[in-house]
Amino acid sequence: MKGDALKNTSFPVRLLAALILGAAWPLAFAPFALWPLAIVLLFGLFWLATTEERPRHAAALGAVFGFAAFAAGTSWIAITLHNFANMDWVLAGAAVAALMGALLGGFMHI
């Protein structure tokens, strides 16, 4: 059955799927406003997590989705730094990367 084939995919492939779903998450909000996409993405994450046999793997799928959504959603910070603080694009990108690194480091420390 086709559903079983998708259910039995390897865990790294499922992580990649969660990463792609999370990276698409900001498209559901302004300025793109593709709000039905949010429903589809959450359904995809729910399906990935509930068909996982190990709870730890399901939690990892959610964490990867959340990190990808956060990482893709922080692009507005670089745009704001460039437009309103008159930063160069490289410097604004470096500032966002440093912020993400600090947040990820703090999260991993907990």
- Residue partners of 26: CB distance under 8 A and separation at least 6: 32, 69, 72, 73, 75
pLDDT at position 31: 83
CA 6 to chain centre: 21
pTM (2 d.p.): 0.77
Q: For residue 43, with 0-12 CB atoms within 10 Å meaning exposed, 13-18 middle and 19 or more buried, which class applies?
A: exposed
Residue position matching structure tokens 């996409």? 37
Please count the structural domains in the chain.
1
* Enclosing domain of residue 47: 2-109
In this structure, the number of other CB atoms found within 10 A of the CB of residue 14 comes to: 21
Using one digit for the tens of pLDDT, what is the confidence trace for 8-40?
Answer: 789 999 999 999 999 999 999 888 889 999 999
Does the pLDDT value for residue 3 go beyond 70?
no
Amino acid letter for position 100 = M
Residue 53 token pair:
């046999």
Using one digit for the tens of pLDDT, what is the confidence trace for 41-74?
Answer: 999 999 999 999 999 999 999 999 998 998 888 8
